Amino acid sequence: MAEVTRVPLQPIAKGSLLKLWLGVLVAVLVAAGVAWAAMPKGLTVETVTAGEGPNPTESSVVFLDYVGKLEDGTEFDRSPESLQMPPEIAAMIPRGVPMPVGDMVPGFSQGLLQTQKGGTYLIEFPGELGYGDTPPPQSDIPANAGLSFEVTVHEILTEEEFQQLAQRVQTIMMQAQMEAQAGESGAQAPAAPPQ
């Protein structure tokens, strides 16, 4: 049987093993840094003016004023200045537009969860947390656009509180409509002849 050629093992030079492990560590850190830089940035919520009290939950309805902008600063949406409604109803409803937290695009919902009543916040998020590649029809929002919203939170209601408010408003509106119809029918009825 033939003898296998023997290769003598050389001793490892002092410090070589340490250099090997340092090289592996540097390679891992560089790869992680490149991967992190390539990842899209996530949701950020900046407090402009601090609010007070508890944060909303997924089932909350938040009354707020907002301005929505694209990454280049182009405004694409704004809450209306005021809603036209009878004074008795306007006095019942908190200022702002009611928005159910759980029914918004993910970035907006996640941002609202970090707000408080009375505060103003800047919520920014990438396209994948917004409308992704299917923006709303007839909007100026391009596909995969990052969005930012400046929001002022006026009130936070639970779903139950909001439903109770909606029922009270509906009752008042129905009463006002019935009174208006009664007034119209009374004005149209012929006057009784004098006797």
- Inter-CA distances, 104 with 56, 62, 127, Å: 13, 11, 14
Which residue is it, tokens 């992704």? Answer: 132
pLDDT single digits (tens) 114-155: 999 999 999 999 999 999 999 888 888 999 999 999 999 999
The pTM (predicted TM-score) of the whole model is 0.69
Q: How many angstroms separate the CA atoms of 23 and 21, rounded?
A: 5
Sorting pLDDT into bands at 50, 70 and 90, what band is 40?
very low
Residue 99's CB is within 10 A of a number of other CB atoms, namely 20
CATH of 44-162, one of 3.10.50.40, 3.40.50.150, 3.30.70.260, 3.30.465.10: 3.10.50.40
pLDDT single digits (tens) 70-101: 999 999 999 998 767 778 888 888 999 999 99
At residue 134, φ and ψ (nearest 5 deg) are -125, 80
Q: What distance, in Å, lies between the first and last C-alpha atoms of the chain?
A: 144
Which residues, other chains included, contact 165 with Cβ-Cβ below 8 Å and sequence gap of 6+? 92, 93, 157
Q: Is the pLDDT of residue 193 over 60?
A: no
Query: 123 in helix, strand or coil?
Result: strand
Query: 101 in helix, strand or coil?
Result: helix
Query: What are the domain boundaries of the chain?
Result: 44-162
- Name residue 22's amino acid: L
Q: How many angstroms separate the CA atoms of 107 and 44, rounded?
A: 9
